[in-house]
Amino acid sequence: MINLDGASLLFPTSFGYFDPHMLAMAAKFPDAQFRHCGGMWKEGVNPKNTGSYFGYIGMGQYLNGIVAGHATKSKKIGFIAAKPIPQVLLNINSFLLGARAVDPTITCQVIFTGEWSLAVKEAEATNALVDQGVDVVTCHVDSPKVVVETAAGRGAFVCGYHANQSPLAPQKYLTGAEWNWANVYKMYVEKTAGRAALPNFTRGGLADGFVKMSPLGPAVSDTARKQFEATKAEMMKGGFAVIKGPLKTNKGADVAAAGKSYPETAIELESMNYLVEGVLGSTA
Amino acid sequence: MTSRMPSRLVLDRRQFLKTSAAGAALGITASSAAARYSPRRRASPSAFIYVGPKDDYGYNQAHAEGAAALKCDQGRHHHRGGERPGDRRRPEDRWSR
């Protein structure tokens, strides 16, 4: 792309592209700019012509959780996850905590498939969750298509992730946490066109237009809609914290003492390595 | 989101296309695909590398929708990856949409 197309700004979008692929190319082409999707770029460690961009999509999973919390009858919700990396763990914890903002007795069973894209395991995991009585599921895998179609086929509700999956299950799709990368890419391209320096560390949330929610589906009740809208409005003001004390991990260790909170911008959240109380499952 | 294609293969293929384009410019050979890569068309500032189909209802589609917004606003941008075996898109579309 650099040699042939003259590209000067590259977006290797995948988690696995950072090291060694992007770092090797960045050293080989010092005049090109590389921005990686994820949380891996570190000041003082990685080259200045590289960087990372990501969004606070955990807030979207918290909003998913609120709608899920209203929709569940069994008080069991489920999460199909790829790998236990910080961004995935934050999404799982946020989904459960959103649901617990509705009903603190709700639990969330998580199943890790081990890979970003493993359709057969994703289908098996979804079926296993429904077999256990889970009636609302969401996920963090590359393509939620199998999860959404399998869950809806079994009669469970679904919350989406990454993009809008409502066309796959119009009646069962509640809402979804979506990326809004257009705003991020436009910012980079405009800065490049204006010959301005590109930021190395780019983050944003709902208020910054990095993340958005799918329109609420027909199965969402008025009560759920009100709590969803009110919480979203709070998030738009900035400073909303999903992770706040008193909070323990599901192994009983302290995450945050009473009064302590971690807003979406807290850098500690990018090294999350635990599941909170109420999540059934293990990171290892 | 793991890399599934050996990077040497990617570079080799692109090197081949570059050589083809240079050949076309010198009049040694001419094909519509090679003509697309003449130096006159090398103005695009940005490039995207995917890890799965751009219509996956997920991670890749989200990035492709963001990139598509640029295409509307800012002219041509380049994409790489995201094809499945048996994908019926024309090969040249992979680099220029």
The backbone torsions φ and ψ at residue B52, rounded to the nearest 5 degrees and listed phi first, read -170, -175
Cα torsion through A67, A73, A75, A78, rounded to 10 = -60
Rounded to a whole number, what is the distance in angstroms from the first to the last CA of chain B? 22
* Per-residue three-class SS string for chain B: CCCCCCHHHHHHHHHHHHHHHHHHHCCCCCCHHHHCCCHHHCCCCEEEECCCCCCCCCHHHHHHHHHHHHHHHHCCCEEECCCCCCCCCCHHHHCCC
Banded model confidence at residue B91, pLDDT cuts 50, 70, 90? very low
Matching residue, tokens 């000067």: A8
pLDDT value of residue A268: 95
Asked if B70 lies within 8 A of A10 by C-beta distance, the reply is no
Alpha helices in chain A, H assignment, sequence order: 2-5, 23-28, 58-71, 86-100, 119-131, 145-153, 181-193, 222-237
B9 touches chain A (CB under 8 A): no
Whether the CB-CB separation of A74 and A134 falls below 8 Å is answered with yes
Measure in Å the smallest separation between the Cα of A253 and chain B Cα atoms: 31
Count of CB atoms within 10 A of residue B2's CB? 13
- pLDDT tens, position by position, A153-204: 999 999 999 999 999 999 999 999 999 999 999 999 999 989 899 999 999 9
Question: Which chain A residues contact residue B47 at CB under 8 A?
Answer: 1-2, 5, 7, 9-11
User: Tokens at residue A47, please?
Assistant: 């080259």
pLDDT value of residue B29: 38
Pick the residue from chain A with its C-alpha nearest to B48.
Answer: A11
Q: In the predicted model, is pLDDT for residue B35 greater than 50?
A: no
The backbone torsions φ and ψ at residue B46, rounded to the nearest 5 degrees and listed phi first, read -135, 160
Banded model confidence at residue B1, pLDDT cuts 50, 70, 90? very low
Q: How far apart are CA A8 and CA A6, in angstroms?
A: 6
pLDDT value of residue A211: 97
pLDDT value of residue A284: 83
Pick the residue from chain B with its C-alpha nearest to A165.
Answer: B57
Measure in Å the smallest separation between the Cα of B37 and chain A Cα atoms: 7
Asked if A182 lies within 8 A of B66 by C-beta distance, the reply is yes
B45 touches chain A (CB under 8 A): yes
A98 touches chain B (CB under 8 A): no
pLDDT value of residue B22: 56
Asked if A5 lies within 8 A of B51 by C-beta distance, the reply is no
Q: How far apart are CA A79 and CA B3, in angstroms?
A: 25
Q: How far apart are CA A59 and CA A153, in angstroms?
A: 27
Q: In the predicted model, is pLDDT for residue B13 greater than 80?
A: no
pLDDT value of residue A233: 98
B3 touches chain A (CB under 8 A): yes
Measure in Å the smallest separation between the Cα of A277 and chain B Cα atoms: 28
Which of A6, A7, A116 has its CB closest to that of B1? A116
pLDDT value of residue A237: 95
Measure in Å the smallest separation between the Cα of A260 and chain B Cα atoms: 33
pLDDT tens track of chain A, all 284 residues? Answer: 888 888 999 999 988 899 999 999 999 999 999 999 998 899 999 999 999 999 999 999 999 999 999 999 999 999 999 999 999 999 999 999 999 999 999 999 999 999 999 999 999 999 999 999 999 999 999 999 999 999 999 999 999 999 999 999 999 999 999 999 999 999 999 999 898 999 999 999 999 999 999 999 999 999 999 999 999 999 999 999 999 999 999 999 999 999 999 999 999 999 999 999 999 999 98
Asked if B45 lies within 8 A of A7 by C-beta distance, the reply is yes
A204 touches chain B (CB under 8 A): no
A132 CB-near residues (< 8 Å, 6+ apart)? A76, A78, A109
Rounded mean pLDDT of chain B?
59
Pick the residue from chain B with its C-alpha nearest to A12.
Answer: B49
Q: How far apart are CA B21 and CA B18, in angstroms?
A: 5
Count of CB atoms within 10 A of residue A218's CB? 10
Give the range among A20-24, B39-43, B55-59 with minimum mean pLDDT. B39-43
pLDDT value of residue B70: 86
Measure in Å the smallest separation between the Cα of B65 and chain A Cα atoms: 7
User: Tokens at residue A52, please?
Assistant: 């990372």
Matching residue, tokens 């003492």: A257
Measure in Å the smallest separation between the Cα of A61 and chain B Cα atoms: 15
Asked if A17 lies within 8 A of B3 by C-beta distance, the reply is yes
Q: How far apart are CA A47 and CA A27, in angstroms?
A: 8
pLDDT value of residue B78: 65
Asked if B44 lies within 8 A of A6 by C-beta distance, the reply is yes
